[in-house]
Structure 1
Amino acid sequence: MSLKGICIKYYEFGNPSDVLRIEEIDVPLPQEGELLVKMEMSPINPSDIIPITGSYANRITVPSIPGYEGVGIVEDGGPSVSKWFIGKRVLPLRGQGTWQEFVTSPAKLAIILPEDIHNHIAAQLYINPITAWVICNQVLKLKPDDILLVNACGSSIGRIFAQLSQIIGFRLIAITRNDKHTASLLEIGASYVINTEEIPLKEAVMDLTRGRGATAAIDSIGGIEGTHLAFCLQPKGTLLSIGLLSGVSLNYREIMERTQTQADIFHLRHWNKNISVKEWHATFHQLIQMIRDDTLQLSQISQSFPLVNVHRALTESRKVFLTMT
């Protein structure tokens, strides 16, 4: 008798509440080099939602199962995969979408988790922490006294950038639309917080940097708000786009011509393609160690919903997780 499981799937792009379907499917056996993982928990991130809307339709094929990260227990392994994996708690990454009960993923990329990393922390160890860490250390190569601007900084990834500023030593100017996150951002590492509802962005940045502008900027919003970041940079500074919360892409060529800065998109998938398996595991090991040492803290769970209640989960504005058990 074949194994069956529940999954979330979409056959067309659109509003996630309208296009996501709950389906029972036959679970395929793991193939050569693959693990079959029974999922326990997966977060709902903007990076999971935006592809469903069609913003990245040029590289997303439908039908598709959403979800880029999560945590689960190894149920089985394909031919030549060691039985040692069975029963291990892992991050099953770069395989199938994680919004389903069973996921197959490459065994060589599975991240084995220590017992003291709770599921809700483990489930969010990939997209935001790896993106922020790689950008700071490998792409921008930030040094002490460099100044980084980050908009939408009250977000989960914004808070990671704030903590990394303290770990690495660069200065972070957090940009928000209100004062809701000001105190906590300053407490975890941000040097300054700019509430753009109270003061114009460029005026505030130039005042804080004594007219020099920032070294680099991270944009999660796109559109006019992302464009404004470029005008706050030093000549030859770097603007990196990591999200599209507004749904409006940046005009990178125009930005570079008008501001004498570099503007580009950071794609985690490109980093994935260019690194070795050894470097992949070493990067996760560094992040896991920082979490165990309590120098890096990820979002606490605010609410969780069973997988079949995904439509209810999508109405929540807080950090939400899907549970499969």
Structure 2
Amino acid sequence: MAEAYRIVARHPGGPEVFAREEITPPQPGPGEVALRQTAVGVNFIDIYLRTGLYPWPPNEQTNHVLGSEGAGVVEAVGPGVTEFKPGDRVAYGTARGAFASHRVVPAAALVPLPASISDEVAAAIMLKGLTAYYLIHQSHPVQAGETVLVHAAAGGVGQILGPWLKLKGVKAIGTAGGPEKVALLSGLGYAEAVDYRSEDFVARVKEITGGAGVAAVYDSVGKDTILGSAAALKPFGTLVSFGQSSGTPDNFRIAHLAPSGGSVTRPTLFHFASSRDWLLKASAALFEAVGSGAIPARIDSVRPLEEIGAVQTDLAARRTVGATVLKP
């Protein structure tokens, strides 16, 4: 049997809190599946958790295992599990505890992987792809002909949103930091690209839309962009705040929506993925779009799981483009 280990965060703090621990591969309980993981995804939410911005579970105040998405092979199933069997390839996007070579996952959080999707691609797209799905199908259901704004468009979620919006006939304006990232956006389905470091993105949105504004803003940046996002809305537009990579957007007030009469929503993937029917429907749509080539799955870096601290440092500093995958 392959050596089993996990990466734990000893306590909230910087990337130095991570440590490797050898483990015995865990056995599944009722409703659970034991996995040998082959690929693990990297997401900003894990930085929020590591630093303590998001609270840790009461039973894991020390030695917390982070990570929310991964892919692997079923090694054993617990009592009551009928949907999966040993040898099945599976993936998940909302089961915390991914930074490990072997783990157990609730069967309700897993989806079967089709042959068209590799383990590495699955680990790169599950959380980000399912996030993109709810953003444009539930948070603000887009309509062909609309214009929307996507912040951090060169990031993991943004690289999926761009082609998916184009596929739906939506004109997407993307923002990114620096000329290199901006140059990527036209190849990702974005009709217009704005460098938020050197341009006033609100002014550019108004210029692009003839002063009308956008039907929706998908904002994962937070503090640095939230007020401009509200100002960029057309009348009755929707501000979708789904992240805070620049800091918590405490500077936002409901009154900032008064000029547009718009609305704001703060969804999370966990709200949607708690529905098994939604999870299966959304993942099937994601796999079809990626498997057909309509949405490219770009993996820019594959690194050992033990390097998660350095990987998170690069992600927080916005030195990454697209997805990074970790290999146990």
Q: So what's the TM-score if we normalise by structure 2?
A: 0.89
Segment of structure 1 superposing worse, 204-213 or 106-115: 106-115
Give the whole-Å Cα distance in 2 for the aligned partners of 1:115 and 1:315.
33
Is residue 2:23 matched to residue 1:25?
yes
Report 1:90-101 matches (<5 A).
90-101=90-101
Tell me, yes or no, if the aligned pair for 2:240 and 2:266 is still in contact at 8 Å: yes
Residue segments in structure 1 that go unaligned for 5+ positions in a row: none
Between the aligned partners of 2:54 and 2:36, the Cα distance in structure 1 is 28
Deviations 1:140-199 (A, max 9, x none): 111012111111111111111111121111110111222213343112311111123343
Measure, in 2, the Cα distance between the counterparts of 1:96 and 1:300. Answer: 22
Identity %: 23
Q: What is the alpha-carbon distance in structure 2 between the residues aligned to residue 122 and residue 99 of structure 1?
A: 15
- Answer yes or no: is 1:243 the counterpart of 2:243: yes
Aligned residues of 1:219 and 1:239 also touching (Cα < 8 A) = yes
CA contact (8 A) 1:217 1:238 kept: yes
Distance in 1 (CA, whole Å) between partners of 2:177 and 2:29 is: 48
Secondary structure class of the residue paired with 1:37 = strand
Task: Give the deviation of 1:278 after TM superposition.
Answer: 2.9
1:270 to 2:277 alignment: no
> TM (normalized to structure 1)?
0.90
**Aligned partners of 1:138, 1:310: CA distance in 2, in Å?**
32
Distance of 2:253 and 2:66 partners within structure 1: 28
Match of 1:44 among 42, 45, 48: 42
The equivalent residue for 1:294 is 293
The residue number in structure 2 matching 1:225 is 225
- Aligned pair 1:205/2:205, yes or no? yes
State the shift of 1:315 in Å: 4.3
Q: Tell me the equivalent position of 1:191.
A: 191
Q: Retained in 1: the 8 A contact 2:37–2:70?
A: yes
| Partner amino acid, structure 2, of 1:25 | I
For the pair 1:140 / 2:140, whether they are aligned, the reply is yes
Question: Higher RCO, 1 or 2 (CA under 8 Å, sep at least 6)?
Answer: 2
Q: Alignment partner of 1:142: what SS?
A: coil
Indicate conservation of the 8 Å contact 2:139/2:265, yes or no.
no
Over 3 Å counting, the alpha-carbon distance change for 1:94 and 1:219 in structure 2 is: closer
Matches within 5 A, 1:94-113: 94-113=94-113
Describe the superposition over 1:8-29 as per-residue Cα deviations: whole angstroms up to 9, x where unpaired. Answer: 11242221x1222222234432
CA distance in 1, matches of 2:310, 2:165: 35
Query: How far, CA to CA, are the matches of 1:160 and 1:232 in structure 2?
Result: 22
- Alignment partner, residue 255 of structure 1: 256
Q: 1:142 to 1:116 in 2, by over 3 A?
A: closer
User: Is the Cα–Cα contact under 8 Å of residues 93 and 105 in structure 1 kept in the other structure?
Assistant: no
* Aligned positions, number: 319
Q: CA deviation at 1:206?
A: 0.8
- Contact 1:93 1:106 (8 Å CA) reproduced: no
**Deviation at residue 4 of structure 1 after TM alignment:** 7.6
1:322 maps to 326
In structure 2, what is the Cα distance between the partners aligned to 1:29 and 1:158? 37
CA–CA separation in structure 2 for the residues paired with 1:83 and 1:128: 24
Distance 1:23 1:254 in 2: 49
Query: What RMSD in Å do the two structures reach over aligned CA positions?
Result: 2.4
CA, structure 1 residues 182+21, in 2 after alignment: closer, same or farther (shift >3 Å)? same
- Judge which range, 139-148 or 310-319, deviates more: 310-319
